[in-house]
Amino acid sequence: MGVRRDSAVGEQGSDGGRESAKAAKGSPSKQPGKRAAAGKDAPAKTAAPSGRGSASGKRTASPARKTAPAAKKAASAKKAAASGKKATPAKKSAASGKKAAPTAESSTPAKKVAPIKKAPPPRKQLVAPKKATAAVKAAPAETVVEPAGDESRTALVRRARRINRELAEVYPYAHPELDFENPFQLVVATVLSAQTTDLRVNQTTPALFAKYPTPEDLAAANPEEVEEILRPTGFFRAKTKSVIGLSKALTEDFGGEVPGRLEDLVKLPGVGRKTAFVVLGNAFGRPGITVDTHFQRLVRRWRWTGETDPDKIEAAVGALFPKSDWTDLSHHVIWHGRRICHARKPACGACPIAALCPAYGEGETDPEKAEKLLKYEKGGLPGQRLNPPQAYLDAGGRPAPPLGAG
């Protein structure tokens, strides 16, 4: 009986031993991470004899649990060490960046130096053409004002006065080409000469002055009747208004007399500086320069001035001559412009002052062809006045035919 109990116990013990072994083997499988984290110490503690059963298994499990925080600490330390090792390349790259920086800085001065040396030349080249073009544009204006070459002011004055002397010999009979007997007729005829020829005015005024001989008569005239008389001169309505208006002003403000002062004349309707100087110079003997279309054209061709405004031309040309020469100078220039130095085709080949003219060659230079371009007495043709001065007739001039005579 006793033996059976012992065997039973032994069998139980052996079974229990097996179970405990199994438990010992099963406990590590449940916590693989802890053993892997614990390293080599965990197998040494779990290698205790299995004969004592489950109690020993319980004791062996507790050290594994205690070693888990240490394993975690070791893992974190390894990770930190790994991160430290990985960070070293960044430090190296930073160090390499610091070392590379001087190379970049050393390269920049070379880039800066090259543009500084090359930049000024293109800027100078761009500015120079602008200055050159400005000078080229300004040159024509200067050449118009000054004669060909570098003519001084003194040389210009001498040349201008010599031209006037030459023209005085060519046109000794030069005179105003409007027929008149008194200042009133002259001022009316000069107003009517706008936008037409002196010939047409001279053919029209006889009928006008025959019907209205005084300012009082013309001031009281019927405008329609005056318009009919002035129709051949063109712009007859405007001209009728002007001559009637100036006649009223003479009657009311000046006692029916034409004033002999420039400031009074220019106040009359239709009277400007040109008309006033014609009246002052030829009716009162007071010097004045008449700047008409012919005068403007010729003084620019001769390069006496480059101005285009009549008042400025008057001032510029007047500075070249004594005041006593102004009236005759106007006649000489205007006569030459009407007979030889035409607007479209000047007769350069027949010009008596060709050697003094900077514009020689703009017209016909062949003498025979140029002679065919001459007008009035220079071309053997009648003049513009119906009643010219005797000096003109003595020089071979012919009077103009009356209106409607051909």
Q: Which domain holds residue 173?
A: 156-339+375-394
Tell me whether residue 387 is annotated as binding. no
In a domain, 191, yes or no: yes
Query: Is residue 54 in some structural domain?
Result: no
Would you state the pLDDT for residue 66? Answer: 44
Question: Is 60 inside any structural domain?
Answer: no
The whole-angstrom separation of Cα 144 and Cα 305 is 7
Residue from 263, 273, 281, 265 nearest 323 by CA: 281
Give average pLDDT by consecutive 10-residue segment, the chain, 406 residues.
Answer: 39 42 41 39 40 40 44 50 44 41 43 49 38 32 46 97 98 96 98 96 98 98 98 97 98 97 96 96 96 97 96 97 98 98 97 97 97 96 96 94 81
Residue 97 lies in a domain: no
Report the CATH number that the domain containing residue 194 is assigned in CATH: 1.10.340.30
240 marked as part of a ligand binding site: no
pLDDT in the model for residue 406: 58
- Sign of CA pseudo-dihedral 155, 160, 164, 170: positive
Cβ neighbours, 10 Å, residue 226: 22
Is 112 annotated as catalytic? no
In a domain, 281, yes or no: yes
Given the residues 41, 241, 292, 375, select the one marked as catalytic.
292
Residue 63 in domain:
no
The pLDDT assigned to 137 comes to 32
Q: Is residue 316 part of a domain?
A: yes
The pTM is what? Answer: 0.64
Catalytic residue among 274, 325, 328, 378: 274
Task: Please check if 357 is assigned to a binding site.
Answer: yes
54-118 and 120-145 helices cross at what angle (nearest 10)?
30
Count of the separate structural domains present in the chain: 1
Active site annotation includes 274: yes
Residue 164 in any domain: the answer is yes
Q: Is 351 annotated to bind ligand?
A: yes
The predicted pLDDT at position 131 comes to 31
